[in-house]
Amino acid sequence: MRILGLDYGSKTVGVAISDPLGITAQGLETIFRERESKLRKTCARIDALVEEYEVEKIVLGFPKNMDGSQGERCEKTLEFKEILERRTGLPVELEDERLTTVAAENVLKESGVRREHRKKTIDKIAAVFILQSYLDRMGNK
């Protein structure tokens, strides 16, 4: 069973996919859009990835504040979750994404990726962290 991991941001969506056994997460791509409200192409691309990889579940990063409270980004993420469930017919689970972008930034720095090139891949790497966290948690249950 393949699982798609998403890091949903205001102008990008980082995308990761699990291996067929659900053990590891690999980065796929970053979907870019001009404005936050422009989701049609983003959803169409996610639909295509769901079909291509025969995805059975989606894990969506949930951006809680560091104190555990939910802000405006959480509301927008919940709206996106509903859109995904309606469009794909798949279950969409939320995964705490606190500090995933910081971790992704650190990995890119340590790998020697120049600052101007990090924006192109940081969301994809964050999606890998979100999905891997979910896979690890499910594997330990």
Instruction: State the Cα–Cα distance between residues 135 and 106, nearest whole angstrom.
Output: 21
Can you give the pTM of this predicted structure? 0.88
DSSP letters, 3-68, are: EEEEEE-SSEEEEEEE-TTSS-EEEEEEEE-SSTT--HHHHHHHHHHHHHTTEEEEEEEE---TTS
Per-residue pLDDT tens listing for the chain (141 residues):
899 999 998 899 999 999 999 999 999 999 999 887 789 999 999 999 999 999 999 999 998 877 777 888 889 999 999 999 999 999 999 998 876 666 666 776 677 767 776 677 778 888 999 999 999 988 855
The answer to whether 59 touches 6, Cβ cutoff 8 Å, is yes
Q: What is the pLDDT of residue 118?
A: 65
Map out the domains of the chain with their CATH numbers. Answer: 2-139 (3.30.420.140)
